[in-house]
Amino acid sequence: MMDYPLLLRTLLLRAAKYFSKKEIVSIFPGEVFRYTYADYFKRTCRLANAVTSLGIKRGDHVASLALNSHRHLELYFGIPCMGAALHTVNFRLPLHHLAYVLNHAEDKVIFIEEDLLFFIEAIKDQLKTIDHFVIMSQSKEMPATSLKPAYLYDEWIEQFPPEFDFPDDLSEWDAALICYTSATTGDPKGVVYTNRGIMLHTLAAGFTLPASENDCLLHIVPMFHANAWGAPFFGVGQGCKQILPGREVLNMEVICKIIAQEKVTFTCGVPTIWLMLHQYLEKGGWHDFSSLKSVFSAGSACPRFLMEELNEKYGFPITQAYGMTETSPLALAAMPKSYMSDWPKEKLYDVKSSAGLLVPGLEMKIVNEKGHEVQMNGADWGEIFLRGPWIAKEYYREPEQSGRFFAGGWLHTGDVGTIDEEGYVRLVDRTKDLVKSGGEWISSVDLENAIMAHPKVSEAAVIAIPHPKWQERPLGCVVVKPGETVSGEELKEFLKDKVKATWWIPDHFVFIEQIPKTSVGKFSKKDLREMYASGKIKVPEG
């Protein structure tokens, strides 16, 4: 067979040629911008020419600090296809981390959404490698900025020709994108995605997921978060209609309107988004989900009650998947098998609410504390190990951390799970979030899901706190729904028949305003632990 490199270029050229009439839609407050793949391709060529004019060449790194927009989608292909790598920066990082990742990746140019300009203004003196600032805005006016030299994206790229000879002699091992994990401890760690890895991830996603050219994708996952879970590559690869909701992504009223008006069929997001959606719907929020075919939840375990409610009450066809920044990210998807179609609903939700089944192309083992692979019995716990062509082999320029997380040629995910006889994985916890009480493990995730099923509870997170006799005990941190009250005793009573053993039930519950979230919207147990340590969360005596 030909030694033809796996390059994103191949997908871009095909889409431009054969899906030139298909649409890309970018949502701005009070404005809907639409163009075709033909126009998308021309602007992506202009962008590649523009970036080349700055002296950016193969192997260089270019940063984006941007919302989900058509411009970000132009960067997603324009930068890798001309041979550089796009570093998608999480704008929810604390400022010192923002400066850290831009310096660590040695980015030479940064593309900044106008709304996010103040972040870069605030750290500009700390930036060591960035020579050019490109501001992305719907306005035709350059906003006031102290950044120099600065260009207004649309106006700037318009000066360059709409053709570009995307090179076919890159190596498939060349970096295409870079993403840093949101650090729970220490500095953020970078993952470099190769052209090969993204191409294989894209094909495998298409092999696995029920989506095709007929689908209309809504990009809810931020484009800085693990390649937007690969959806932009899948979309261009298939020639799908794509919707980029910009800063409206957290506005559930607008999201529901977009789904109905644009006839969205496919979307993905973290459970936090689906909790927001559920709250909007519970308040009677308008929606029409008739066009939706598949929704995937990933990033952290989606509470089962939430999946059941969204599916059964609102016809929102949500299923779980599993991945992480280090896995490009798709690794597992919880699609039921053909012979499960006549299973009772309850049993089918066991499947759909699991983390899923291994995607073709990868290898997985679940390894217990003794280093043995666990049985496929749905009961034994172990850490999930993964390997495959779209699994990271290291953290970028972090040999020490890499040695630890990638020992033996497998990614040690830090996620603890079980695997049942059908192969479906169920997440028990993060290794570091497990509660060890009296020498036995308690799953904080199971407890959280059980607590969040209480009708008066909006969100719940469980952390381990020290205990003189049992070493550790779980502490329930609970956010009550507006206008409701609930007591710890009520919750204990409620949990009695819903947890694995009565000794799993937290001795104490604290009621807080909100669960702190990480920069990608997951519950931040690190922050909860700090709140507990600093006395901001006080456990009632007794």
With CB under 8 A as the contact rule, the residue among 100, 282, 339, 351 that binds its own copies is 339
Is the Cβ of residue 313 or residue 337 nearer to its own copies in the bound state? Answer: 337
The one catalytic residue among 52, 181, 293, 398 = 181
Report d(CA 168, CA 164) in Å as an integer: 12
**Per-residue interface string for the shown chain with its own copies, residues 435-454, x marking contact by CB under 8 A:** --------------------
Would you call 78 exposed, middle or buried from its count of C-beta atoms within 10 A (0-12, 13-18, 19+)? buried
- CB 465 → its own copies: shortest distance, Å? 38
Q: Catalytic residue at 436? A: yes
Is the Cβ of residue 141 or residue 339 nearer to its own copies in the bound state? Answer: 339
C-alpha angle with apex 508: 505 to 511, nearest 5 degrees?
Answer: 115
- CB 77 → its own copies: shortest distance, Å? 14
The one catalytic residue among 262, 309, 326, 448 = 326
Report d(CA 318, CA 322) in Å as an integer: 13
Report d(CA 151, CA 55) in Å as an integer: 15
Is the Cβ of residue 188 or residue 197 nearer to its own copies in the bound state? Answer: 197
Applying CB under 8 A, does 506 fall inside the site for its own copies? no
- Which of 141, 71, 81, 78 lies closest to 112 in space, CA to CA? 71
With CB under 8 A as the contact rule, the residue among 357, 464, 520, 531 that binds its own copies is 357
Applying CB under 8 A, does 388 fall inside the site for its own copies? yes
Pairing of strands 425-430, 132-136: unpaired
- CB 391 → its own copies: shortest distance, Å? 5
With CB under 8 A as the contact rule, the residue among 42, 225, 241, 278 that binds its own copies is 241
HEC profile of 47-58: HHHHHHHCCCCC
Applying CB under 8 A, does 485 fall inside the site for its own copies? no
Whether residue 48 contacts residue 164, with contact meaning beta carbons closer than 8 Å, is answered with yes
Name residue 166's amino acid: F
Residues 6+ apart with CB under 8 A from 15: 22, 37, 41, 236, 237, 239
Applying CB under 8 A, does 163 fall inside the site for its own copies? no
Tokens 């997440």 correspond to: 427
Is the Cβ of residue 69 or residue 202 nearer to its own copies in the bound state? Answer: 202
Binders of its own copies among residues 3 to 62 (CB under 8 A) are 3-4, 6, 10-11, 13-14, 17-19, 21-22
Whether residue 10 contacts residue 226, with contact meaning beta carbons closer than 8 Å, is answered with no
Q: Catalytic residue at 326? A: yes
Q: Catalytic residue at 365? A: no
Applying CB under 8 A, does 210 fall inside the site for its own copies? yes
Q: How many residues bind its own copies (CB under 8 A)?
A: 57
With CB under 8 A as the contact rule, the residue among 58, 293, 387, 456 that binds its own copies is 387
* DSSP string for residues in 51-114: HHHTT--TT-EEEEE--SSHHHHHHHHHHHHHT-EEEE--TTS-HHHHHHHHHHTT-SEEEEEG
What residues make contact with its own copies under the rule CB under 8 A?
1-4, 6, 10-11, 13-14, 17-19, 21-22, 192-194, 196-197, 199-200, 202-204, 206-208, 210, 212-214, 237-239, 241, 328, 335, 337-339, 357-358, 360-363, 376, 387-393, 409, 422-423
Active site residues: 181, 326, 436, 441
